[in-house]
Structure 1
Amino acid sequence: MATVRGCNLPDDLYYNVDNNVWARREADGTLTIGMTAYACSLAGEIVSYTPKKAGKEIEQNKSVSTVESGKWVGPVKAPVTGEILAINPDVAAKPGTINADPYGSGWLVKMKPTDWDGQSGALVTGGAVATGFETKMNTDGFGGC
């Protein structure tokens, strides 16, 4: 796992660095989507989670959900185009779960990608994760998680 400025970034995930989101490709080809630890640190404690409905087709870089904290309201964007299959009922009941476990129980939606092979090449994974986020954090003037 990469750690950049105190933010954990598991290197087995796929990241859209610009949008601070991750995707985990499951054995059946579906994706689990969530916010990065960096995004959680920027937002502060998440107090509201409003996902799009299951069955909705979401274009790449469009919102799969809206989250709200005491200092920020904004979209969580899809790393690839796909159909939302499920939302996280635990996060709906307790949005702070996103902050507590962003890569585990704090996932936001599950999606069926429509063009994984065509769009996943734009995502960062493995050893490039640390470099990508270090550059972004420098640009953003981010001190650390």
Structure 2
Amino acid sequence: MGAVKGCDLPETLLYSIDNNVWVRREADGNVTLGMTAYACALAGPVESYTPKKAGKEVKKGRSCATLESGKWVGPAKTPISGEVVAVNEAVSASPGLINQDPYGQGWLVKIKPADWDADAVDLKTGADALTAFQAKMDADGFNGCA
């Protein structure tokens, strides 16, 4: 498990640094997407989760869900294009799961990628992701995850 400024960042996942989201390619070819611990720290406790419905097409760089916390309302932007194939019903019932377990039970959506190979080129993993997050956090003046 990697960490930057106290924020867990599992080195096995792929990250969209600009969008503060992670993705994991599953055995069936679909991609699970969620918020990073860094994004959770910035947003504070998530109070509302409104995902795109299963069957909806999403475009790279566009919203796959809208999240709301006491500090922030905004989109979770997907780093890949494709079709939403599943939404997290547990998070619908309890949005706080996003903060409690961002890399496990707090995932946001599952997407069937339209062109994984093309979209994955822009994602970072391992030491590259940790270095990129360190630079982003420093530039943002972020003090660290609690």
Q: Scaled by the length of structure 1, what TM-score is found?
A: 0.99
Percent identity, aligned pairs only, is 61
Q: Within the alignment, does 1:56 sit opposite 2:56 as a pair?
A: yes
Residue 126 of structure 1, CA deviation? 1.6
Corresponding residue of 2:139: 139
Corresponding residue of 1:18: 18
Tell me the secondary structure at the aligned position of residue 79 of structure 2.
coil
Gaps of 5+ in 2: none
Q: Within the alignment, does 1:6 sit opposite 2:6 as a pair?
A: yes
Residue 114 of structure 1, CA deviation? 0.6
Which letter maps to 1:77? Answer: K
Cα distance in 2 for partners of 1:119, 1:111 equals 13
Map 1:35-46; keep pairs closer than 5 Å: 35-46=35-46
Cα distance in 2 for partners of 1:7, 1:33 equals 18
Q: How many residues align?
A: 145
Map 1:1-145; keep pairs closer than 5 Å: 1-145=1-145
Tell me the secondary structure at the aligned position of residue 98 of structure 1.
helix
Residue 88 of structure 1, CA deviation? 0.2
Gaps of 5+ in 1: none
Residue 71 of structure 1, CA deviation? 0.8
Which letter maps to 2:119? Answer: Q
Cα distance in 2 for partners of 1:134, 1:80 equals 23
Residue 129 of structure 1, CA deviation? 1.3
Residue 96 of structure 1, CA deviation? 0.2
Cα distance in 2 for partners of 1:55, 1:131 equals 36
Residue 83 of structure 1, CA deviation? 0.4
Cα distance in 1 for partners of 2:46, 2:33 equals 16
Q: Scaled by the length of structure 2, what TM-score is found?
A: 0.98
Cα distance in 1 for partners of 2:83, 2:12 equals 22
Which letter maps to 1:110? Answer: K
